[in-house]
Amino acid sequence: MTALPTETDVVVVGGGLAGLAAARRLHRAGTPWFLVEAADRLGGRVATDAVDGYLIDRGFQVVNTAYPRQAALVDLAALELGLLTQGVLVRRGGAGHRMVHPLRDPLGVARTIVTGLADAAQLGRLGRAPGPVGDLSRAAGAERISSVGRAFDRIRLAGLAARCATYPVRRLLAAPELTAELELRRAGLSDRIVEELLRPFFSGVLGERELSTSSRVLAMVIRSFARGRVGLPAAGMAALPAAVAAPLPASLIAPGVPAVSVHAGRVVTPAGTIRCRAVLVATDPGTASRLLPGLGEVRLNRLTTYYHSTVEPPLDEPILLLDGDRRGIVANTVVLSRAAPTYAPAGRHLVATSVAGPDVPPEPVVRAELARLYGCPVHDWEHLTTVSVAGALPATPPPQGRLRKPVALGAGIFVAGDHRATPSAQGALASGWRAAGAILRHLGS
Ligand SMILES: Cc1cc2nc3c(=O)[nH]c(=O)nc-3n(C[C@H](O)[C@H](O)[C@H](O)COP(=O)(O)OP(=O)(O)OC[C@H]3O[C@@H](n4cnc5c(N)ncnc54)[C@H](O)[C@@H]3O)c2cc1C
């Protein structure tokens, strides 16, 4: 166990992405610091358990290559990302529709890849045939414009993605602030494409089905998906915080040491009190509100992931499958081991299925949805575990302003975390970096 100092310049409370990013900046500046982490491992909400040859992340999450702070702190190539297919599949009315990336092929954003299925199992069978589904359908000449979204939807979606990808951030943040749902309507998108594609997709990203999130947060989410690729590290998502922490000396980090209280000039832990010139609270939002009562409560969104193992993968590619049938139970499902084979032992595949919002349906309910979505029998799939994270992401309804909440609270106390920026890994890293900058100014470094 790391010995606690009695004194240092900065105590960082919390070793999630925000705390680690702050420590990186303090370390680079040569300022004495020490980090206490309540859990026995670093990474916070980004964690991976290796269980019987499977890599079980703490809920389905991905690395997005477009996050600027992440790219500045981490060598992404070293993560050996297994990339997900760009675009999504939408299950609607017994057919699977491939929605290609709106900026890669604007007019092809919604093409039916499987039409007129007499038997819903056909999607599963097509997925298991050799080669990607899209190639198959093209070879068979079966592709036609899908009923998920019309031509004007495809053009407007491509326009929205292009604006979010290319406008300077300050311009995106100067736009009138609405809810995400109103923003999608304002962009002229039809009820159909919102309900059958965009609501399921964004609910899995934001952890809420109402799309009550700020349009400015939505713009940043669209920006990152339009500019980057998403993938899974070969060693699991925990490889991301491990890479952020890698350059930091282990002797300055104490896992298993929770801060009990923080005060101007000291942090109290069960292992002793550390006196300091500045304190950075980089915990989860709930703990931050308890340690810093003036901060106020942060509402949190829940994400639940059901992990299943199967011998026969229901699809041959790592593509997100969305429920376009408006059933409102499953947000998305994906064969993780198609992106990163390290996620499952030889001869098995790992399927992650996400549910957004406060309800946690029983596994048999989700299993029935999976049979419908993939269109294949799933009775022999093994339910490995369900991971439900009540505080997966801070809720960010309007007004969020410029997406940068204050990090300096006065008297040498600072705060960081995704609740001070956007609800994402980028938000956590950027807020930690920003808070460390404010601390260095406070210390006169
Ligand atoms: C299921 C799920 C899916 C997600 N998907 C994505 C995604 O695809 N893309 C994306 O960008 N983001 C995603 N996120 C969000 C992303 O993981 C978080 O935004 C980010 O990890 C938050 O980091 P943080 O450092 O702000 O907080 P946390 O990760 O919560 O870190 C806080 C740390 O503080 C520690 N701590 C708490 N109390 C104390 C105490 N008293 N003393 C000391 N330490 C304490 C905790 O143990 C923890 O390590 C997802 C999150 C979840 C849960």
Report yes or no on 351 lying in a domain.
Answer: yes
Q: Is 96 in the pocket of ligand 1 (CB under 6 A)?
A: no
289, 308: one domain: no
Q: Are 390 and 357 in contact (CB under 8 A)?
A: no
Q: Is 331 in the pocket of ligand 1 (CB under 6 A)?
A: no
Instruction: State which of 37, 45, 263 you would mutate to test the pocket of ligand 1, scoring each by most atoms of that ligand within 8 A of its C-beta.
Output: 45
End-to-end CA distance of the chain: 30
335, 373: one domain: yes
Q: Which residues of the chain have pLDDT under 50?
A: 109-110, 112-145
Query: pLDDT tens digits for 25-63?
Result: 999 999 999 999 999 999 999 999 999 999 999 999 999
Number of domains, the chain: 2
Of all atoms in ligand 1, which is nearest to the CA of residue 423? 19
Report yes or no on 275 lying in a domain.
Answer: yes
Distance 322 CA to ligand 1 centre (A): 25
Report yes or no on 198 lying in a domain.
Answer: no
How far apart, in whole angstroms, are the C-alpha atoms of residue 144 and residue 137? 10
What sections of 228-284 are H helices per DSSP?
239-245
Structural domain boundaries, residue 437: 10-46+239-299+399-443
Report yes or no on 135 lying in a domain.
Answer: yes
350, 319: one domain: yes
Distance 150 CA to ligand 1 centre (A): 38
Q: Are 70 and 78 in contact (CB under 8 A)?
A: no
The pLDDT assigned to 268 comes to 98
Q: Which CATH number fits the domain that encloses residue 270?
A: 3.50.50.60
Report yes or no on 145 lying in a domain.
Answer: yes
| Nearest residue (CA) to ligand 1, atom 37 | 283
Distance 21 CA to ligand 1 centre (A): 13
The pLDDT assigned to 108 comes to 54
The pLDDT assigned to 139 comes to 28
The pLDDT assigned to 25 comes to 98
Q: Are 416 and 19 in contact (CB under 8 A)?
A: yes
389, 305: one domain: yes
The pLDDT assigned to 101 comes to 78
Distance 17 CA to ligand 1 centre (A): 7
Of all atoms in ligand 1, which is nearest to the CA of residue 389? 53
The pLDDT assigned to 113 comes to 42
Distance 58 CA to ligand 1 centre (A): 10
Distance 426 CA to ligand 1 centre (A): 11
Characterize 153-192 residue by residue with b for buried, 16 or more Cβ atoms within 10 angstroms of its Cβ, and e for exposed.
bbebbbebbebbbeeeeeebbeeebbbbbebbeeeebeeb
How far apart, in whole angstroms, are the C-alpha atoms of residue 414 and residue 419? 13
The pLDDT assigned to 106 comes to 56
